[in-house]
Amino acid sequence: MLKHVLEVIELLDRPQANGRLLADHLCSVLDTARAQAAGTADLPDPARVGISVERVEGAGGGTDFVKVTVPGRAGRQAGGSAPTLGILGRLGGVGARPERVGLVSDADGAVAALAAAAKLLDMYGRGDVLEGDVVLSTHVCPDAPTRPHDPVPFMDSPVSVLDCNRAEIDPTMDAVVSIDTTKGNRLLNHRGVALSPTVRQGWILRVSDDLLGILETVTGEAAHVLPITTQDITPYGNGVHHINSIMQPCVATDAPVVGLAVTAGSAVAGCATGASHEGDIAAAGRFALETAKEFGRGTAHFHDAAEFDRLVELYGPMTRLQATGDARG
């Protein structure tokens, strides 16, 4: 995974970074893997892999959304019933030019998602196919704006969070891992990665034991949990404080969502350069990959579905927290 992280960083850390550049790199990873596995019987069909780039323009400029679909052995693309995992790299931008020169801290989520995509494509090309489909998405903008935030400045996005959700959330996703740099706070002072509680349809649920186990295996240390609040799972633009955009996918899907935060021991601005730690990003990518393996074969669960249904039965739906306007009824 670290190799892929380094390659992705090299491509993103330039003024010319764009979605096509990253898509071409991912295609080359798949082609190289297939070439090196030539002669192996029953290699999977590369035509089933989907790699696309969509340009989206917003009030603050434009950005390129990169989406990768890696088919599973028993996933929907193959006519099977194995669940589909979504892996999203959330960020405002990979760069803040001309205000800042270089890769910004906010890029970590994009790097982790793209590196995970590269690793999955490398595996697929060699014949290591997971059970379920995996859909990965992020966006590439080397000149995103910044904005004030307490306690340190944030990266802003050239497009709205609503646009990001529209471009990144796929209706086939049965669960979502949202990876985001989460260093600009004083809530979790630990360098590494941390897992949020699971959120589904406005409910903040208990932290998944299965995912905690995967995180501890990947990092080799006790798992750290990111504290989130009700404000954090409401849509951006409602005038309340959000830790960042890590939980914003939960407002756009009925599927369970977890945030995987790349964290620091001190408050670091999202627009800071020289603040990305390749080993931590690789750990985030490995977590996403291992979760995809276990989720697809049904051995890792994001939440207790029966307990969720019981909560809704007892207290009613909380979907109003997913709404952008007044949904009191």
Cβ 84 vs Cβ 133: under 8 Å: yes
State the chain's maximal CA–CA distance in angstroms. Answer: 63
- Strand 61-70 and strand 175-181: pairing? unpaired
- Taking only the tens place, the pLDDT of each residue in 153-212 is 778 899 999 999 999 999 999 999 999 999 988 889 899 999 999 999 999 999 999 999
Query: Rounded distance, CA 17 to CA 24, Å?
Result: 12
For tokens 């850390």, name the residue.
13
Tell me the Cα Rg of the chain: 19
Strand partners, 208: none
Alpha-carbon span 120 to 114, nearest angstrom: 10
- Burial readout 195-227 (b: 16 or more C-beta within 10 A, e: otherwise): bbbbbbbbbbbebbebbeebbeebbeeebbebe
Mean pLDDT over residues 31-37, rounded? 96
The residue ranges of DSSP E strands in the chain, in sequence order, are 50-58, 61-70, 85-90, 134-140, 146-147, 154-155, 175-181, 192-195, 199-200, 203-204, 257-263
- Helix, strand, coil percentages in the chain from 3-state DSSP, rounded to 5: 35, 20, 45
pLDDT (tens digit per residue) in 277-295: 999 999 999 999 999 999 9
42 three-class SS:
coil
Rounded CA gap, 18 and 193, in Å? 26
H and E: helices and strands count for the chain? 7, 11
Confidence of residue 151 (pLDDT cuts 50, 70, 90): confident
Encoded tokens for 212: 């905690």
Which tens digit of pLDDT belongs to each residue from 252-266? 999 999 999 999 999
Question: How many Cβ atoms are within 10 Å of 68's Cβ, its own excluded?
Answer: 26
pLDDT one-digit tens code per residue, 220-251: 999 999 999 999 999 998 999 999 999 999 99
